[in-house]
A and B are shown apart, each in its own frame.
Chain A
């Protein structure tokens, strides 16, 4: 009778799978179709706050990583509208017609911002550089900040005296994973030793202090913040130029792939750039970039 019980077992497994296929795997509703506009006044395709299919009706959910680093955020609290990215997020929300109280912050690790599957945010603001590969995985808004990469080293180190890219060839360099800073090291400096790659800038700073790396590459505002407040024995050695022909590097807001909000958010960012709001926020929160020589 063994084979009969095996057949029964197989049949039951199969029917369970079939049931799973029929019910449990029904397509998820996509964000775009989740909640249609409730008020008939707003015409579809408009960017009015009540017409937008946001995660929570009438609220704008914004994601960022924790800890939220200065000068992008202040006191590790994105909701105080202090710091460049916090201010930009509230400016975008205002452009879309959301009041300050309608902005909800969500903790989203850098790596989770682009994980496939349903997103927990309407848009994510986390110093994410725009590139074509990334556009295949998520939607990215227009750029809200033009990035320049810089290199910082301990004042008494050999790397601090570098005046050209060639002077950095022999140094042990470091950068954070997933940043364009790492691309600058690999594609522009092309050092002799393999660069160190860190999960967080905190670890890169610790290694710099310990002398485990000679210099680290970070974006300009971060560099000024680190040398001004966190590792005062380090200095900004110089900044890098975008290679001729390459696209200018910009940070963009991350949205779910094919999100219904992308065009509206991009329009809001473009409008903020046009009317000078972005420039004003930059002036308020980010150090002046003068004084860092360009390394060639």
Chain B
């Protein structure tokens, strides 16, 4: 029967009291800091006008429905472009890591594609696709700016994702490949059953990072006239010269990113649990 010694009880009590004190000090200093910040901001000479310009309840009420209408476009683009970029990125990464001299042209093409679209500024890619492609007057090519804008997003982001996937594939230790081959798996099977599962699992966090980035860049298709959440805010702002709609749109986007971040954390945690099955050493 274990009984903590008097000295140990004493030590723990002392530790608890120190923790309590630290918490109290932190709370106090935070409250003070916030108070000073609040007084500095609201006491500044321009505050009444700033409040009127950025935090006007009436304009916020007008803006919210239009911003949410625009957000529907952002979400559609995010889901469709996200799915397509993930698939295309993975294919590009696999093409770049193929072995054997026969595949050289494929490797070279994939490398050239990634180099080009990773370096090309997204806004130029969008302008070229949205206004350049319809100017060709080809039969059967869509002229809808949203479709074209989505295509431009896919071109750029699939190049980003390809690099992420490739980093994952190359991070799988060669011994894994050797072991798989020695068990009689073909090159393709080794890739499919041994390398890719490990590679994808390793790069989930950076992939989700790219998805969040894509979510914010979907708004750029508004260059072609389609109205997304941020653009809806701009239309209202430039009509009334009041910036509250921008604040509303910004908050909506932040709120949208929070669940995505939580999802990322959950996926990462689950992966760590799976990898360390049988307990950590």
Evaluate contact between A116 and B53: CB separation under 8 angstroms. Answer: yes
One of B40, B50, B240 near A116 (C-beta < 8 A): B50
A207-B131 CB under 8 A given contacts A116-B50, A117-B46, A197-B227: yes
Q: Is residue A275 contacting chain B, with contact meaning CB distance below 8 A?
A: no
| B5-13, B28-36, B102-110, B112-120: which lies at the interface | B28-36
The reply to whether A110 and B238 form a contact with Cβ atoms under 8 Å apart is: yes
Q: Which residues of B contact A66 (CB under 8 A)?
A: none
Residue from the list A134, A183, A203 in contact with B225, Cβ < 8 A: A203
Question: B160 at the A/B interface (Cβ < 8 Å)?
Answer: no
Whether B25 lies near A14 (C-beta < 8 A) is no
Contact B22 A3 (CB under 8 A): yes
B19 → chain A closest CB, angstroms: 9
Assign chain B's interface to a size class: 35 or more
A5-13, A37-45, A243-251, A264-272 - the one binding chain B? A5-13
A-B contacts at CB below 8 angstroms, number: 118
Say yes or no: B53 contacts A212, CB within 8 Å: no
Inter-chain contacts of A20 with B (CB < 8 A): 40
In the complex the two chains form, is A6's CB within 8 Å of B238's CB?
no
Pairs across A and B, CB under 8 Å, 6 listed: A2-B18, A3-B18, A14-B33, A182-B239, A203-B131, A212-B134
- Contacts from B to A (Cβ < 8 Å): 18, 21-22, 25-26, 28-29, 32-33, 36-37, 39-40, 43-46, 49-50, 52-53, 131, 134-135, 143-145, 222-227, 231, 234-235, 238-243
Give me 12 other A-B pairs in contact (C-beta within 8 A), A2-B18, A20-B40, A177-B235 excluded. A3-B22, A6-B26, A14-B36, A27-B44, A116-B46, A116-B53, A131-B239, A133-B241, A182-B235, A194-B227, A211-B143, A212-B145
Give 7 closest A-B pairs by Cβ, nearest first.
A196-B225, A178-B238, A10-B29, A137-B241, A27-B45, A133-B240, A210-B134
